[in-house]
Amino acid sequence: MSFIGEAALSALMEALLAKLVLPEMLSFLRQGKVDAEIKKWEKMLRKIQSVLEDAEEKQMTNKQVKMWLSELQDLAYDVEDILDEFAMESLQRKLEGEPQASTSRVRKLIPTCCTNFSPRAVTFNFEMLSKIKEITTRFKDITAQEDDLNLREIVVGPSRQVWQRPQSSCLQDEPQVYGRDEDKRKTLDLLLSDETSSAKVGVVPIVGMGGVGKTTLARLVYNDEALLHFHPKAWVHVSEVFDSLGITKSILESITLKHCEMKELNQVQLALQKN
C-alpha cells in the first residue's frame, strides 16, 4: 500500500502558487474571465494547503482521505501542465511578435489570451478555456470534500512558517492496521533485547517520510501485551519547538496522573526520578 507524502505534495502546491504570481503569467491572464478563474485556483490552493497536514495523518486509517489526496495530487499535476502550456504560449506569441490585445470595448470583454485571432491562437484559446473550466470544477469538488472528510485547518503562526503537527495520544484510534506485523515485531525485539537493557537510556527511533505510519507503529508497540511489564510507562508528544521542562512535566504527569505546578527543570526532574 502506498501513501501520499504531505511534504512532496505541499512542495508542489508551493511551486504552483509561485507560478501563478509570475509577472509574465499575470500579464498573459490579466483581463477577463481567465484571470478570475486563475485567482479562484490560487484561493482554493491556499485553502487546501491548510488541511494537508491533517489529511496526511488521517490517510493511514481513512481510505477516503487517501483517495482525496490521490485526486488532489492528480489535479496538482494537471494544473502544473496547464500553467506550463500558458507559459509556452506566452513565449511563443512574443517570439512571433503577435500584436497585443486591442483596447476596444468589444475586445475588453474577451480574456487577454483570447484577443489574438490567428487560427492557431484561436484554437489554443478555446482548448485552454475548456481545460480551465474543467480544472475549476475539480478544484471545487476537492475543496467541498474537506468538510465531508472532517479535515482540520492547521494555522501557521506569523513567526514560524512551518506546520504545527497535531498532538497524538497512545490510544489506538485505528479500527484495524494491516501490513505492520513485521515492523512491530522488529521494534519489540529491539526494546526487549539484552543489548538495550543495560543502557541508561535506550532509544529506538522510527524514521520515515510523512504519511508512512510512524505514529501508528509506535501506538501498536506501546499497547502490545509484551510491554505490559514495563512500569511506569508514558506517552509524550514532542513538538518542533523542543521544551525540556515541558516534556519532563508531561512524563511526570503521565506517571502520577497529577498536575505539576513546579517551574524549575531540576525540581521536576528530581520528582520524575523519584517516581
Q: What pLDDT is stored for residue 101 in this prediction?
A: 44
Q: Looking at the whole model, is its pTM more than 0.75?
A: no
Omega prior to 166 cis, within 30 of 0: no
Three cell numbers at 156? Answer: 501557521
Task: Report H helices in the chain.
Answer: 6-20, 23-29, 32-49, 52-58, 63-96, 105-108, 119-148, 181-192, 194-197, 214-222, 244-256, 265-274
Question: Are residues 21 and 67 located together in one domain of the fold?
Answer: yes
Question: Are residues 112 and 41 located together in one domain of the fold?
Answer: yes
Q: What pLDDT is stored for residue 3 in this prediction?
A: 55
Question: Are residues 12 and 81 located together in one domain of the fold?
Answer: yes
Q: What pLDDT is stored for residue 248 in this prediction?
A: 92
DSSP code of residue 110? S
145 contact partners, CB below 8 Å, separation of at least 6: 68
Question: Are residues 193 and 263 located together in one domain of the fold?
Answer: no
Question: Are residues 30 and 84 located together in one domain of the fold?
Answer: yes
Domain assignment of residue 256, given as a range? 231-275
Question: Are residues 30 and 139 located together in one domain of the fold?
Answer: yes
Whether 120 maps to a domain, the answer reads yes
Q: What pLDDT is stored for residue 99 in this prediction?
A: 47
Whether 153 maps to a domain, the answer reads no
Whether 158 maps to a domain, the answer reads no
Low-confidence ranges of the chain (pLDDT < 50): 1, 31-32, 99-117, 157-163
Whether 174 maps to a domain, the answer reads no
Question: Are residues 58 and 123 located together in one domain of the fold?
Answer: yes
Question: Are residues 109 and 66 located together in one domain of the fold?
Answer: yes
Question: Are residues 68 and 110 located together in one domain of the fold?
Answer: yes
CA–CA separation, 197 vs 50, rounded Å? Answer: 43
Provide φ and ψ at 63, rounded to 5°: -65, -30
Question: Are residues 17 and 111 located together in one domain of the fold?
Answer: yes
